[in-house]
Amino acid sequence: MLHKCRFATGLTFSSDPLTEELQCSVCLDVFTDPVTIPTIPCGHNFCKSCLNQCWDKSEACCCPLCKETFNKRPDLKINTALRRVVQLFKEKSCLTKPDVLCDICDERKLKALKSCLICQSSYCETHLEPHQRVPRLKKHKLINTVENLEDYICQKHERPLEMFCRDDQTFVCLFCTDGDHKTHNTVPLEEESEEKKTQVMKIQTEVQQIIQDRMKKIQDIKHSAELRKAQKVGVFVDYEGGLVSFYDMKSRSHNYSFTGQTFTEKLFPYFFPSLNKDGKNSAPLIISPIN
């Protein structure tokens, strides 16, 4: 049973079309080392470990999604292009932070616009107004919203961490920039925050473009598979050469071939035309030799 192969990888993402496209149907999580079964043309992708665990628990090897079976367990190769897409998606998901809510709102908390390093609070548009009007509060250091404001106070000087040291990749206060970080490349916190947002947007754009290209390729394959639905199929078997080929007899075009097979016993044909959408075969199956 398929559900016996499911396990948790520790990474969870929100449900959206992009996530579903990058989701393994076995563990129901974003791919880890994605692989495609090379010996069958279904094109379904799985985590390498998920697929191996499913096969380890089953006597027969098949695609966990469409159940198409095959005789020999193949050597799985990681789909490097898809793995790169997943890596970019995970980077985007990790860098995209949730909204910070106003600390002053009582009932329905609104989204905060700014965080104050002096007050150690985040404010929505309404509750931010005093910091824009009162002279004493106007001197406070406002930054783009962040969670855990206590992490933005310098433990050494007990001052707001208003700067970012790009050399050491750490937050520093103004006193630090005159001391241990005097010769380092330091920038205001807002500047670094804006740059991080720009990076996130670039990663998101890159991921979306890769996904769009991949979806277009999938649609092209599906469309091509629908020109190939033949009414009359020719089957050619080369016993000694280990070759089984399928042809569209009407257009006299080649559809697909299984190569590198090993036949040691007598072969028998097995046909399974499946059912159409109405639950019935649309036409009888007729087997005839080729003259």
Residue closest to 1 by CA, chosen among 31, 35, 32, 26: 26
In a domain, 268, yes or no: yes
Residue 69 lies in domain:
2-95
What pLDDT is attached to residue 183?
Answer: 92
Residue closest to 211 by CA, chosen among 22, 34, 52, 2: 22
In a domain, 6, yes or no: yes
* Residue after which a domain boundary falls, among 95, 130, 159: 95
What pLDDT is attached to residue 131?
Answer: 95
What pLDDT is attached to residue 3?
Answer: 32
In a domain, 170, yes or no: no
**CATH number of the structural domain spanning residue 74:** 3.30.40.10
In a domain, 259, yes or no: yes
**CA dist 183 → 122, 152, 167, 174 (Å):** 32, 22, 10, 13
Taking the CA atoms of residue 42, residue 47, residue 52 and residue 53 in that order, the dihedral angle to the nearest 10 degrees is -120
In a domain, 56, yes or no: yes
* Residue after which a domain boundary falls, among 95, 124, 148: 95
The radius of gyration of the chain from alpha carbons, rounded to an integer in Å, stands at 30
Provide the residue type at 21 as one letter: E
Residue ranges of the chain with per-residue pLDDT less than 50: 1-15
What pLDDT is attached to residue 6?
Answer: 31
In a domain, 175, yes or no: no
What pLDDT is attached to residue 75?
Answer: 82
What pLDDT is attached to residue 43?
Answer: 75
The HSE-up count of residue 6 (CA atoms within 13 Å, CB side) is 12
What pLDDT is attached to residue 126?
Answer: 93
Q: How many domains does the chain divide into? A: 2
In a domain, 261, yes or no: yes
In a domain, 45, yes or no: yes
C-alpha 227, offset from chain centre: 30
* Residue after which a domain boundary falls, among 34, 61, 95: 95
